[in-house]
A = this chain, B = another copy of it.
């Protein structure tokens, strides 16, 4: 049985959003499961000395155009939200809580709803209330979700994942690992699939 493709991303990353729309295609083409690993990219910026895309005016003018163009090309709705970027600790915690309680499929579905809330509907997912509303949906009690966001074990899980990502050389979003081989960027998805099938080149 082939190991899963690990998909690291930040919920505030537009390219991470675009990559999330391809996860089923990656699974179909590679024959491997895609495991979602949301993390806090800001923590990694501190260790690399890099800065967010939006901090470089010239680069950001380009990136914004590129992101909108990439979204149009694949026919997906996209609108750059305000504020941007944001810290997505609550969104990550809701994801890991859902994964623990209901399994990876349910957590992945939540990840897609959170991304759509931010990049399609323009809702501010740095807000606890927005995350609780999206995560509770029609099936959970909002108070239960609110409690989960304060759960110390879940908070520690996010800290661990984020610390691990730095140790494993992960610094961007999206960032994929295939049998330990790193691929950065949604423009490397064809390579992720090819590497998954061939085991390297």
CB within 8 A of A171: which of B48, B59, B65, B69?
B59
Q: How many copies does the complex hold?
A: 2
**When the two chains form their complex, are residues B65 and A56 in contact, meaning their CB atoms are under 8 A apart?**
no
**Complexed CA–CA distance, A47 and B194 (Å):** 38
The yes or no answer to A73 lying at the interface (CB within 8 A) is yes
* CA A50 to CA B72, docked complex, whole Å: 28
Proximity string of chain A (75-93) to chain B, C-beta cutoff 8 Å, 1 when within and 0 when not:
0000000000000000000
- The one of B48, B57, B58 in contact with A59, judged by C-beta atoms closer than 8 angstroms, is B48
Q: A169 touches which one: B58, B169, B194 (CB < 8 A)?
A: B58
CB pair A169–B61 under 8 Å, yes or no, is: yes
Chain B residue contacts of A49, Cβ below 8 A: 56
Bound CA–CA A11/B69 (angstroms) = 28
Question: In the bound complex, how far is the Cα of B58 from the Cα of A47, in angstroms?
Answer: 9
Docked-complex contact A191 and B73, CB < 8 angstroms: yes
Total residues of chain A contacting the partner, CB 8 A: 26
Asked if A24 is at the interface of the complex by the 8 Å CB criterion, the answer is no
Q: B184 touching A72 by the CB < 8 A rule?
A: no
Interface residue A137 (Cβ < 8 Å from any Cβ of B): no
- List, in ascending order, chain B residues with CB within 8 A of A184's CB: 62, 66
The interface residues of chain B lying within 8 Å CB-to-CB of A59 are 48, 50, 171
Cross-chain contact of A48 among B56, B69, B187 (Cβ < 8 A):
B56
Smallest CB separation, A176 vs chain B (Å): 12
> How far, in angstroms, from A171 to B61 measured CA to CA in the complex?
11
Are B187 and A62 touching (Cβ within 8 A)?
Answer: no
A62 in contact with B169 given A50-B56, A56-B50, A73-B201 (CB within 8 Å):
yes
A54 to chain B, nearest CB (A): 13
Which 3 A-B pairs rank lowest in CB-CB distance, beginning with the nearest? A187-B187, A48-B58, A58-B171
